[in-house]
Amino acid sequence: MTFEQLSSDFYGFENALTAQEKDKIMELRAFLDAEVRPYANELWANAEFFPRTVVDGLAKLGMFGQPWEETRQFENTAVFRGWVALELARVDASVATLVGMQNGLVMGAIAVAGSDEQRAEWLPRFASAEVLGAFGLTEPLSGSDTAQGLRTVARRDGDNWVINGAKRWIGNGSISDVTIVWARDADDNQVKGFIVPTTTPGYAASRIENKMALRIVQNADITFTDMVVPEANRLQRGNSFRETAAVLRLTRAEVAWAAVGNSIGAYEAAVTYADERIQFGKPIGSHQLIQELLAKSLGNITASIGLVTQVSKMLDDGVQKDEHAALAKEYTTSRMRETVAWCREALGGNGIVLDYGVMRHFADAEALYSYEGTREMNTLIVGRAITGKSAFV
Ligand SMILES: Cc1cc2nc3c(=O)[nH]c(=O)nc-3n(C[C@H](O)[C@H](O)[C@H](O)COP(=O)(O)OP(=O)(O)OC[C@H]3O[C@@H](n4cnc5c(N)ncnc54)[C@H](O)[C@@H]3O)c2cc1C
């Protein structure tokens, strides 16, 4: 398949991918255009999860498991995986979130903190989408402060652990087969991770209703009541929040890429509309102030692509730190919020109607802006790196 540069990739950054990576991008684009784009608005309106064919199709394309040697289907870089997140979110931020959770957070937790045996047992099952995963860290009373504030407790009882507590916001937690549950060890007060099949007695999940962003993702409230989990299901290399933070570090920059993709989705719809909509006898795209909205949007997108490309190169080179990923997430999600608002403005009243292609990206921007570290928390991580002083712990 011949590679086609996106007109929204104004400086042609994506051209730097290898020939094989470009082929994969074109396969992914074709898949998304056939299986996700035509149905996304309806699924979003109905707050309905993707059909199984979408999850299986993504698995077949190798979208789950690329960072991990056990499940990698082809050679690829962090920059490529960033482009995947962008291409997914350009069509729909919920499908980007699904891949980010399964591939990054869930498989990442097992890859970073699991034993070799746990990696061998679980990673291939997630890669093939035989099992769908969720990542359970946030709680009703602890969001930004999970490192200190986690209240879910795990008590060792012989070869088992007994877990009690509650989680909130857990993406796909009401439909997952397995959830990675982070809990505080009652003995040493350290945070540990557990691989929990959702059929385990004591696990109860309910979908969060009336959520007005990322409506396709099924976010859940979960409770654990005397839930017994074998020691064999505790992530064996995870003995503190350090490992949890290492997982989040892997995925934060990919959320930054998804924010650029979400902006592009809105921008492309605005460019099309500006060509078709006639006012004062000519397409609105020929009015100067509409051109300004489009030019400012393209400026945000182009600057953001440059930034995320470099932050992923730093990961490939083994020099990316927390503050680098935090700046990328803070910067691109802030620019995304401006961009989707400008694109919505360019559509006038139709900008708030789902069918015109901007509103879903506009609403979904709010979720990307707040999850995986809010703007404030990412700003404070950068502030700590600048000054050497933490303003939040
Ligand atoms: C759509 C969606 C999907 C999600 N998916 C998952 C998931 O799959 N798994 C999971 O574990 N979690 C998930 N989350 C949770 C997400 O990571 C949290 O919402 C996020 O970390 C913020 O926590 P909070 O909502 O409790 O806000 P809070 O921490 O209560 O923050 C409220 C406000 O206070 C600000 N604030 C807090 N502390 C400070 C401070 N020290 N200085 C300045 N400002 C501060 C915050 O920036 C924010 O603006 C998801 C959230 C959403 C919305």
> Is the distance from CB of 290 to CB of 252 less than 8 angstroms?
no
165 close to 177: Cβ distance less than 8 angstroms: no
**Distance from residue 253's CA to the centre of ligand 1 (Å):** 17
Local confidence pLDDT in tens for the 393 residues of the chain: 899 999 999 999 999 999 999 999 999 999 999 999 999 999 999 999 999 999 999 999 999 999 999 999 999 999 999 999 999 999 999 999 999 999 999 999 999 999 999 999 999 999 999 999 999 999 999 999 999 999 999 999 999 999 999 999 999 999 999 999 999 999 999 999 999 999 999 999 999 999 999 999 999 999 999 999 999 999 999 989 999 999 998 899 999 999 999 999 999 999 999 999 999 999 999 999 999 999 999 999 999 999 999 999 999 999 999 999 999 999 999 999 999 999 999 999 999 999 999 999 999 999 999 999 999 999 999 999 999 999 988
Q: What are residue 196's DSSP bridge partners?
A: 179
Structural domain spans, the chain: 13-127, 133-239, 242-387
| Ligand 1 atom 35: residue of nearest CA | 376
> β-pairing, 153-157 with 178-185?
parallel
Chosen CATH of 133-239 out of 3.40.720.10, 3.30.160.20, 3.30.300.30, 2.40.110.10 = 2.40.110.10
CA of 372 to the centre of ligand 1 (A): 7
Return contacts of 339-343, CB within 8 angstroms, 24+ apart.
Answer: 339/263, 339/266, 339/267, 339/296, 339/297, 339/300, 339/301, 340/262, 340/263, 340/266, 340/365, 342/270, 342/293, 342/294, 342/296, 342/297, 343/263, 343/266, 343/267, 343/269, 343/270, 343/293, 343/297
323 contacts: CB under 8 Å, gap ≥ 6: 381, 382, 384, 385
Q: Does domain 242-387 have CATH number 3.30.260.10?
A: no
Q: How many CB atoms lie within 10 A of CB 326?
A: 27
- Supply 374's token pair: 């809010």
What's the CA angle centered on 105, arms 242 and 187, to 5 degrees? 40
Q: Which of 99, 191, 371, 389 to mutate to test the pocket of ligand 1 (most atoms within 8 A of CB)?
A: 371
Binding pocket residue ranges, ligand 1, CB within 6 Å: 101, 135-138, 143-144, 169-171, 214, 219, 367, 370-372, 374, 376-377, 392
pLDDT one-digit tens code per residue, 164-191: 999 999 999 999 999 999 999 999 999 9
| Tens-place pLDDT, residues 55-81 | 999 999 999 999 999 999 999 999 999
CATH architecture of 13-127: Orthogonal Bundle (1.10)
- CA-nearest residue for atom 52, ligand 1, is 371
Q: Give per-residue pLDDT as tens, 187-246.
A: 999 999 999 999 999 999 999 999 999 999 999 999 999 999 999 999 999 989 999 999
Which residue, judged by its Cα, is nearest atom 31 of ligand 1? 144
CA of 219 to the centre of ligand 1 (A): 13
CA atoms within 13 A on the CB side of 357: 19
